[in-house]
Amino acid sequence: MKYEIMMSCGHEDTVELFGKEKERDRKIEYFKIHGLCKECYRKKKEEETQKEGLIFNATVLPYINEKDGSILLSVWFSGDTKPHKDEIKSLGNYSWSERESADDWYSFQLPTLCWNKIIKLDSLEEEIIKATSIGAKSMVADSGLFAEVHYRIALERQKEWREKKEKIDLIKKPAVPEVLKGCTWNQKIYGKAGNYSIYPNGDKKLITDEQAEEIKNYLTLKEEYRKKVNEIKNA
Ligand SMILES: [Zn+2]
């Protein structure tokens, strides 16, 4: 049922109430004493946000950077972000998208949108300095059980990554033939004995039979190397 109630702020507002009559009456009484109309509520929230100032938040993500094993963080702004929108954008790579706090990962509620981005742990300090430079007043680290769990998962993944990296570093990488050093090429040898050629960086180059042999050998070793690395990576 809808009720017109004179709120505590002195403005009338329409409120929809459910439940038993006694329960509804109780709520109406509450609104009269403590309730705010929608406009006053909005203003109050706005004032609170302004008072809060700009807040920089960070949480550890439950995965790592597979290329270099870095622990990753999601960082975002909360609080009084509206007047800082352009400054936030100017910091680089921030996008208006779903917040990724640890609790958000396991929440069934609609996602909360915010200015956020993913960074490596070792650039956190730099990002904090940047955030401070546009007026961030406080830095908040995500806390709670889920945040703790994510951090542990990240550490575990990093440990596995390092162990694999150590094994991969032990495998001998085949030496690149002199003629191909620093070049990109399509990994094809053209022609026949006495008249072999390749296209390093897209330019035709005649090679000797010995060079062709060396390159063929290199390709075989490279394929073996790739297989061994993948075996470790997928273990
Ligand atoms: Zn009001």
Angstrom distance (rounded) from CA 218 to CA 224? 10
DSSP string, 33-51: HH---HHHHHHHHHHHHHH
146-155 tens-digit pLDDT: 999 999 999 9
One-letter amino acid for residue 124 of the chain: L
The ipTM value here is: 0.97
Average pLDDT over residues 182-188: 92
Query: Residue 3 and residue 16: Cα distance in Å, rounded?
Result: 6
Between the CA of 50 and the centroid of ligand 1 the distance, in Å, is 19
Residue 75: HSE in the Cβ half-sphere, 13 Å Cα cutoff: 26
Q: How many angstroms does the Cα of residue 31 sit away from the middle of ligand 1? A: 11
Tell me the CA–centroid distance for residue 72 and ligand 1, in Å.
45
> What's the CA-to-centroid distance between 49 and ligand 1, angstroms?
18
pLDDT at 235 over 90: no
Supply the pLDDT for residue 184: 93
Say how many Å lie between the CA of residue 8 and the centre of ligand 1.
Answer: 8
pLDDT in tens, 63-77: 999 999 999 999 999
Q: Where are the domains of the chain?
A: 2-50, 53-156, 171-234
Please report the sign of the dihedral spanned by the C-alpha atoms of residue 3, residue 6, residue 8, residue 14: positive
Number of Cβ atoms within 10 Å of the Cβ of 235: 9
- Residue 152 CA to residue 159 CA, distance in Å, equals 11
CA–centroid distance, 33 to ligand 1, in Å, is 12
d(CA 5, ligand 1 centre) in Å: 11
Averaged pLDDT score across all residues of the chain: 95
C-alpha distances out from residue 224 to 2, 179, 217, 228, 231, Å: 75, 21, 11, 6, 11
Q: Tokens for 89?
A: 């954008």
- What is the distance in A from the centroid of ligand 1 to the CA of 39? 6
Q: Does 127 score more than 90 pLDDT?
A: yes
Q: Distance, CA 135 to ligand 1 centroid (Å)? A: 31
> Ligand 1 centroid to 170 CA: how many Å?
71
Position 20 scores a pLDDT of 94
What is the CA(26)–ligand 1 centre distance, in A?
20
Whether the pLDDT of residue 121 is over 90: the answer is yes
Q: For residue 142, what pLDDT is reported?
A: 96
Reported as a single tens digit per residue, the pLDDT across 168-179 is 999 999 999 999
In tens, the pLDDT along 24-64 reads 999 999 999 999 999 999 999 999 999 999 999 999 999 99
For residue 115, list its beta bridge partners: 77, 96
User: 46 CA distance to ligand 1 centroid (A)?
Assistant: 14
pLDDT interval class at 214 (50, 70, 90): very high
pLDDT of residue 161: 97
Q: Does position 119 have pLDDT exceeding 90, yes or no?
A: yes
Distance 24 CA to ligand 1 centre (A): 21
2 CB-near residues (< 8 Å, 6+ apart) = 14, 15, 16, 17
Q: Which residues surround ligand 1, an ion (CB under 5 A)?
A: 9, 11, 37, 40
Distances (CA, A) of 85 to 51, 80, 88, 157, 174: 17, 9, 5, 35, 51
Residue 78 CA to ligand 1 center (angstroms) comes to 26
pLDDT score at 197: 96
Of 111, 36, 100, 31, give the one whose Cα is nearest residue 72: 100
Rounded CA separation 17/24 (Å): 6
